A and B are shown apart, each in its own frame.
Chain A
Amino acid sequence: MDLIFIIGAGNAQITSNPIINLAIVYLPLALLILYGQKLQTWLITNDLSKTVGRLKEMRDKSRQETIDHITEGIDNKEETIKRLDSFLEYFTIMPVDLDPAGVINKLDHIMTSRDMRMKSEIKQLFPDLDELKANSVENVIEIATSFNFVYKIVRHFYLVGKKTNNFILLAQLQMIIPFLMLQADALNQAMTTFKKNQPVGDAIGPMIVGKLMLQHEKHDIAVDTVYAESDISGRKAILVTAKGPAGTVGQPGNAVQELIQKENPSLLIMIDAALRLEGEKTGEVAEGIGAAIGGIGVDKFKIEEAATNNNIPVYAIVIKQTLVEAISIMTKDIAESVDSVHDIINRIIDERTKPNDKVIIVGVGNTIGVIQ
Chain B
Amino acid sequence: MSLPIMGAPDKKQKKLTVYTIEECINCKKPTKREFKDGDLVHKILDKCKDCDNNIMISLIYGEEIKKKKN
Instruction: Give chain B residues whose Cβ lies under 8 Å from the Cβ of A233.
Output: none
Do A214 and B42 touch (CB < 8 A)?
yes
Do B62 and A197 touch (CB < 8 A)?
no
Q: A175-B1, A176-B1 are in contact. Are A181 and B9 (CB under 8 A)?
A: yes
B63 within 8 A of A: yes
Q: How far is the CA of A179 from the CA of B10 in the complex (A)?
A: 11
Do B37 and A199 touch (CB < 8 A)?
no
Instruction: Give chain A residues whose Cβ lies under 8 Å from the Cβ of B43.
Output: 245, 371
Instruction: Give chain A residues whose Cβ lies under 8 Å from the Cβ of B62.
Output: 328-332
A50 within 8 A of B: no
Do B60 and A211 touch (CB < 8 A)?
no
Q: A185-B13, A322-B7 are in contact. Are A332 and B41 (CB under 8 A)?
A: no
A210 within 8 A of B: yes
A153 within 8 A of B: no
Q: How far is the CA of A268 from the CA of B8 in the complex (A)?
A: 34
Total count of chain A residues near the partner, CB < 8 A: 40
Q: How many A-B residue pairs have CB under 8 A?
A: 84
Do A369 and B40 touch (CB < 8 A)?
yes
Considering the complex, which residues of chain A in the window 280-309 have a beta carbon less than 8 Å from any beta carbon of chain B?
none
Contact check: which of A278, A323, A331 meets B61 at CB < 8 Å?
Answer: A331
Do B59 and A335 touch (CB < 8 A)?
yes
Do A370 and B7 touch (CB < 8 A)?
no
Do A199 and B41 touch (CB < 8 A)?
yes
Nearest Cβ distance between residue A180 and chain B, in whole angstroms?
Answer: 10
A129 within 8 A of B: no
Do B41 and A323 touch (CB < 8 A)?
no
Contact check: which of B5, B8, B42, B61 meets A330 at CB < 8 Å?
Answer: B61
Q: How far is the CA of A13 from the CA of B3 in the complex (A)?
A: 47
Q: A199-B60, A329-B62, A334-B61 are in contact. Are A370 and B41 (CB under 8 A)?
A: yes
Considering the complex, which residues of chain A in the window 154-199 have a beta carbon less than 8 Å from any beta carbon of chain B?
172, 175-176, 178-179, 181-183, 185, 196-199
Instruction: Give chain B residues whose Cβ lies under 8 Å from the Cβ of A277.
Output: 5, 7
B59 to chain A: closest residue by CB: A335
Considering the complex, which residues of chain A in the window 189-221 have a beta carbon less than 8 Å from any beta carbon of chain B?
196-199, 203, 207, 210-211, 214
B63 to chain A: closest residue by CB: A332
A259 within 8 A of B: no
B17 to chain A: closest residue by CB: A329
Instruction: Give chain B residues whose Cβ lies under 8 Å from the Cβ of A207.
Output: 41
Nearest Cβ distance between residue A168 and chain B, in whole angstroms?
Answer: 12
Nearest Cβ distance between residue A60 and chain B, in whole angstroms?
Answer: 19
Considering the complex, which residues of chain B in the window 8-57 have a beta carbon less than 8 Å from any beta carbon of chain A?
8-10, 13, 16, 18, 35, 37, 39-43
Instruction: Give chain B residues whose Cβ lies under 8 Å from the Cβ of A334.
Output: 61
Nearest Cβ distance between residue A304 and chain B, in whole angstroms?
Answer: 22
* 15 sample A-B contacts, Cβ–Cβ < 8 Å, listed by A number: A172-B1, A182-B8, A196-B37, A198-B60, A199-B41, A199-B60, A203-B41, A277-B5, A322-B6, A322-B7, A324-B10, A330-B61, A370-B42, A371-B41, A372-B42
The 6 A-B residue pairs with the shortest CB-CB distance, nearest first, are: A329-B62, A335-B61, A371-B42, A182-B9, A370-B41, A245-B40
